[in-house]
Amino acid sequence: MNSVVDLTPSPAAVPPRPREASPAASAVPSTRAAVTAFVDGVSGHNDRAGRATLALARELGTRLGAPISVIGETSPGRSLGWRAALQQSQPELEALADAAAHSLRTSAFSAFCVTRNAAAIATLPAVARAHPDAAVVWMGAHPCLHSPGTTRTGDLSGMALAAATGLWPSGHGDDLALSNVVLLGARDLDRAEKHVIANSPIRIIASGPLMQEELAATIAGRDVFVHFSADALRPGIVPTDFQVADGLTIDTVAETARTLAHERVIGLQITELEADPTDRFSTSAQLIVEMLVPLLPRG
């Protein structure tokens, strides 16, 4: 079941379908910032991400003084193959795509808190339509560049960036150019994903002493949209479904956010955080937002 709920007194309208490209160059945002939370269980096998997503949205909403819209309903995760997950979540993903297009058209800064990487199937094409030349910096352990013919797990999340860039047809848009994708912190790559990266203009920047310098040169003079997956971090810092060794430290993420903030950041997407039932104060959500706070608009 799909529901779109606003947690603030003044609900934001969602434009009707069909979606249209946003003339970013001529559009004048009417609001400073907006926050969208997508709590559907697409591509997840537990409900912990839904609760964490709401905590992230509330933290961002407080920091930004921005309205929060919620799409979907928290429910037990559904361990489904990619085709079934895509079909069952179609109404929610369509609602998310429309909400993303509306936010990107009317807000100077758009924040999306989503349960799983799979939701990027809907948001990133909307980002590319609104800002065709923006760099999309994907921070995560997994590049999510699988297609139906290469996935071994059948997990829709592992196919999200590939769908948004047109490597396979999800039905939710393929507007993101591979040349605008920058991978940071990617370290769990299958052979098929390495092949895609090696044979495309995707830029992958390795962690290390030159990471900030390379990142700054790559995004210089460009608008930037940041996708941050909790598994970008070293295991144990925050709860997430997939823990991958040799992740980024808290200090490295904060430094990276400061590097990115030298350019115009048009939006931020946070995903793959899970709730800890013993964490009554949502400290993991607070920590992630604190690391990324340089990306948020000032004033």
Tell me whether the omega of the peptide bond preceding residue 18 falls within 30 degrees of 0, making it cis: yes
pLDDT tens track for 212-265? 999 999 999 999 999 999 999 999 999 999 889 999 999 999 999 999 999 999
H/E segment holding residue 267: strand 265-271
- State residue 42's pLDDT score: 74
Q: Lay out the sheet containing 265-271: strands in order across.
A: 4-6, 68-71, 31-38, 107-114, 265-271, 224-229, 135-139, 181-184, 203-205
- Rg for the chain, CA atoms, rounded: 17
Q: Which residues lie across from 267 on neighbouring strands?
A: 110, 225
Query: Which segments of the chain have a pLDDT < 50?
Result: 1-17, 21-26
**Which DSSP symbol is given to 234?**
P
- State residue 11's pLDDT score: 33
- State residue 17's pLDDT score: 44
- State residue 2's pLDDT score: 35
- State residue 12's pLDDT score: 36
- State residue 15's pLDDT score: 38
pTM over 0.75: yes
- State residue 287's pLDDT score: 98
Residue 95 CA to residue 8 CA, distance in Å, equals: 18
Helices (H), the chain: 48-64, 82-88, 90-106, 120-130, 160-164, 191-198, 211-219, 250-260, 283-292
- State residue 77's pLDDT score: 63
